[in-house]
């Protein structure tokens, strides 16, 4: 039995239908209303096991302040249900999974409950994407690099006969795993939501409460920041890489406990074995919890800790490095840190090999780290202290495209013996039996061959790749221009970088 390819007319019709759907569907999406917050998933959910009506909960991780009668305290929980779910199953109906969640209730620690409306807008560090309607979409397993290469070799060798290609699939499975196309969201996944709170809450917004510190304390903090290098440098190339924008005050044990409670993990040393694991993770579009990190130096010193946070993809992760400093504050150890967010795994020539595309606005990652630590209850206070100069007027060589207000977040930790929230154990997700996975792979591979092994789809793929490449180049130029404008504004008006502290 062989797979018949669609005729010329049907190929054009299918391509036109797909293109129309891709262009028109985003236009129908509405801008979500409500206050933008983050919440951490407490109930792991999978499209393989979830059903409509499955209950879910997430704890609010964004400090939110209310101007109404009812305040929004810590440990507020959003609850709801999985409203819709389409699993891949054997791959007979769906190539990729989708899921909708409906958070419709807010529960406060004292037991009070309120009806709310919330729309999901994004999920951090996940291979899944969220569209403009709040629908979670899983990956198409046959689009991964490992499957494309393996499928091409098998069909070229065997003339496109799926049954005879089974030995090739077995050989490829020994080298690369076929990705699981089901949606898997573990405990601790960061949900971005737009929430419409009840009217009695009044105006609800992210807290930004200023706290006065004695002049002597501010003087100590400024002295600490003034002696801090702006950049960490690559060990192999003498160029600035990551901006140093965080300081932690506490013992090594306190720092380790706080990040462990926040769900951060370590990094394995760079080696040939680690490189192979990275290549497999990229090819299979899956996560690697202890992926290696490039060695960066601060004042010529290697970091004492390298930490990262990711879910089910190597392409996206939060990561940071921590260096011990010679200074102390009130007898406690001072640690400097640079934190960045990886947005995608790309192939680079300098340095040669796979690397990450980093988020240009590094302040977002700085604030994310502060929020993660504060969420655990392991933080006593946070102070944002402005550097003496902006990154472009400091006299140091800088990395192009970096957007920052040139402030350093100084996080004072407590003992963290009993974290308020502990995300160190995210658990494992249930998996279908091996026979189901094999049937699903054969079905999806044959289906992909029938739908996409034609000139119309490949031409569309080339156009899409070219479009995204050009748009990425344009975005890089815009980011650098925006960064220069922001630095010029901050240099002209230093009051925009004023210090403040929060509990």
CATH number assigned to the domain comprising residue 63: 2.40.128.260
Phi-psi region of 266 (alpha: psi -120 to 50; beta: other; left: phi over 0): beta
Q: ∠ at Cα 114 (112, 118), nearest 5°? A: 140
The crossing angle, in degrees rounded to 10, of helices 8-28 and 455-492 is 30
User: CA 303, CA 337: separation in Å to the nearest integer?
Assistant: 9
Regarding beta strands 317-329 and 305-309, do their DSSP bridges make them parallel or antiparallel, or are they unpaired? antiparallel
Instruction: Decide if 437 is inside a domain.
Output: no
| Whether residues 160 and 237 fall in one domain | no
Q: Given this model, what pLDDT does residue 136 score? A: 95
The reply to whether 295 and 401 lie within a common domain is yes
Domain boundary among 129, 158, 178: 178
Per-residue model confidence (pLDDT) at position 350: 52
Classified as helix, coil or strand, 20 is helix
Provide the phi-psi class of 16: left if phi over 0, else alpha when psi is between -120 and 50, else beta: alpha
Same domain, 166 and 256: no
User: Whose structure tokens read 């060990």?
Assistant: 235
Say whether both 196 and 297 belong to one domain: no
Helices (H) and strands (E) in the chain, counts: 9, 25
264 and 412 assigned to the same domain: yes
Neighbours of 14 (CB within 10 A): 15
In a domain, 388, yes or no: yes
User: In this structure, are 123 and 236 located in the same domain?
Assistant: no
The residues facing 335 across adjacent strands are: 248, 324
Kindly give the pairing relationship between strand 352-358 and strand 190-196: unpaired
Please, which residues have CB within 8 angstroms of residue 492's CB and are 6 or more apart in sequence? none
Which two structure tokens, joined as six digits, stand for 274?
């680690």
Q: Token pair for residue 185?
A: 């969201």
> Could you tell me if 289 and 365 lie in one domain?
yes
Tell me, yes or no, whether 69 and 197 share the same domain.
yes
Could you tell me if 350 and 270 are in contact, meaning their C-beta atoms sit under 8 angstroms apart?
A: no
Task: Please state the φ and ψ torsions of residue 173, each to the nearest 5 degrees.
Answer: -65, -30
Distance CA 442, CA 445 (A): 5
| Cβ neighbours for 305, distance < 8 A, ≥ 6 positions apart | 255, 256, 259, 266, 321, 322
Tokens of 361: 């606005």
Q: What per-residue confidence (pLDDT) applies to 431? A: 82
- Name 497's Cβ contacts closer than 8 Å, sequence gap at least 6: 386, 387, 390, 405, 406, 407, 490
Integer Cα distance of 337 and 391 in angstroms: 16
Closest CA to 28 of 138, 139, 131: 131
Asked if 398 and 381 sit in the same domain, the reply is yes
Query: What is the distance between the alpha carbons of residues 239 and 351, in angstroms, rounded to a whole number?
Result: 12
Q: How far is CA 124 from the centre of its chain?
A: 4
265 strand-pairing partners: 308
Paired tokens of 410: 């100084």
Question: CA–CA separation, 40 vs 456, rounded Å?
Answer: 42
Three-state DSSP class for residue 241: strand
Q: Tell me how many domains the chain contains.
A: 3
* Residue 8 covered by a domain: no
Place of tokens 């039995």: 1
Residue 3 domain-assigned (yes or no): no
In a domain, residue 159? The reply is yes
- Indicate whether 250 and 368 sit together in one domain: yes
Residue 168 pLDDT: 61
Q: Is residue 445 part of a domain?
A: no
- 3-class SS at 426? coil
The label of the residue with tokens 């748009």 reads: 471
Angle at 368 between CA 356 and CA 326, to 5 degrees: 85
472: phi then psi, degrees, rounded to nearest 5: -65, -45
pLDDT mean by block of 10 residues, the chain; 503 residues: 44 48 48 84 92 94 74 83 93 92 92 92 88 92 73 56 59 69 89 90 73 77 92 85 94 94 85 75 74 87 91 82 92 94 66 66 92 91 91 84 91 91 77 86 83 81 82 80 83 78 76
Residues 310 and 344 in one domain: yes
Residues with Cβ within 8 Å of residue 361, at least 6 apart in sequence: 403, 404
Region of residue 89 (phi > 0: left; psi between -120 and 50: alpha; otherwise: beta): left
The residue segments making up the domain with residue 371 are: 209-416+475-502
Q: Is residue 16 part of a domain?
A: no
Q: Which two tokens stand for residue 254?
A: 């306190």
Place of tokens 């930004």: 208
CA atoms within a 13 Å half-sphere pointing along the CA-CB vector of 173: 13
Nearest one of 83, 80, 81, 72 to 116, comparing CA atoms = 80
pTM confidence score: 0.81
Please report whether residue 40 resides in a domain. Answer: yes
DSSP 472-501: HHHHHHHHHHHHHHHHHHHHH-GGGG--EE
CA–CA separation, 319 vs 343, rounded Å? 11
- In b/e form, how buried is each residue of 93-108, taking b as 16+ CB within 10 angstroms? ebbbbbbbbbbebbbb
Do 150 and 77 share a domain, yes or no? no
| Torsion from C-alpha of 328, 329, 335, 339, nearest 10 degrees | -150
Q: How far apart are CA 279 and CA 281, in angstroms?
A: 5
């Amino acid at each position: 039995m062989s797979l018949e390819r669609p005729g010329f007319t049907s190929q054009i019709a299918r391509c036109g239908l797909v293109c129309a759907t891709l262009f028109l569907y985003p236009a129908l999406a509405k801008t979500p209303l409500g206050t933008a917050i983050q919440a951490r998933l407490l109930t792991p959910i999978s499209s393989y096991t979830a059903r409509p009506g499955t209950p879910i909960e997430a704890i609010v991780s964004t400090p939110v302040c209310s101007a109404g009668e009812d305040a929004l305290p810590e440990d507020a929980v959003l609850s709801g249900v999985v409203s819709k779910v389409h699993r891949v199953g054997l791959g007979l109906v769906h190539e990729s999974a989708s899921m909708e969640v409906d958070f419709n209730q807010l529960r406060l620690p004292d037991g009070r409950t309120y009806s709310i409306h919330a729309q999901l807008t994004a999920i951090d560090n996940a291979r899944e994407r969220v569209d403009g309607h709040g629908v979670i979409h899983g990956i198409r397993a046959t689009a991964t690099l490992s499957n494309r290469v393996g499928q091409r070799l098998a069909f070229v060798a065997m003339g496109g006969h799926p049954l005879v290609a089974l030995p090739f699939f077995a050989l490829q499975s020994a080298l690369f795993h076929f990705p699981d196309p089901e949606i898997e969201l573990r405990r601790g996944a960061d949900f971005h939501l737009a929430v419409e709170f009840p009217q009695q809450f009044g105006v609800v917004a992210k807290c930004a409460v200023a706290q006065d510190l004695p002049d002597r304390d501010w003087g100590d903090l400024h002295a600490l920041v003034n002696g801090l290098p702006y950049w960490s440098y690559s060990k192999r190339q003498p160029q600035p890489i990551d901006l140093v924008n965080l300081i932690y005050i506490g013992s090594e044990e306190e720092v380790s406990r706080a990040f462990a409670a926040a769900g951060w993990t370590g990094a394995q040393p760079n080696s040939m074995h680690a490189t192979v694991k990275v290549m497999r993770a990229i090819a299979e579009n899956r996560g690697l919890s202890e992926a290696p990190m490039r060695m960066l130096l601060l004042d010529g010193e290697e970091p004492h800790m390298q930490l990262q946070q990711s879910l089910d993809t190597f392409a996206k992760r939060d990561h940071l490095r921590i260096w011990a400093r010679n200074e102390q504050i009130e007898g406690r150890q001072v640690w400097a840190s640079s934190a960045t967010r990886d947005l995608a795994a790309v192939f680079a020539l300098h340095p040669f090999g796979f690397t990450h595309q980093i988020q240009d606005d590094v302040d977002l990652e700085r604030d994310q780290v502060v929020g993660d630590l504060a969420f655990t209850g392991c933080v006593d206070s946070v102070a944002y202290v402005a550097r003496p100069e902006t990154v472009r007027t400091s006299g140091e060589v800088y990395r192009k495209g970096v957007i920052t207000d040139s402030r350093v977040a100084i996080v004072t930790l407590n003992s963290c013996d009993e974290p308020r929230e502990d995300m160190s154990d995210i658990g494992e997700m249930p998996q279908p039996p091996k026979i189901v996975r094999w049937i699903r792979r054969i079905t999806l591979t044959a289906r992909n061959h029938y739908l996409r092994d034609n000139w119309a789809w490949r031409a569309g793929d080339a156009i899409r790749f070219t479009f995204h490449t050009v748009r990425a180049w344009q975005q890089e130029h815009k980011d650098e221009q925006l960064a220069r404008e922001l630095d010029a504004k901050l240099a002209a008006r230093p009051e925009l970088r004023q210090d403040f502290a929060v509990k």
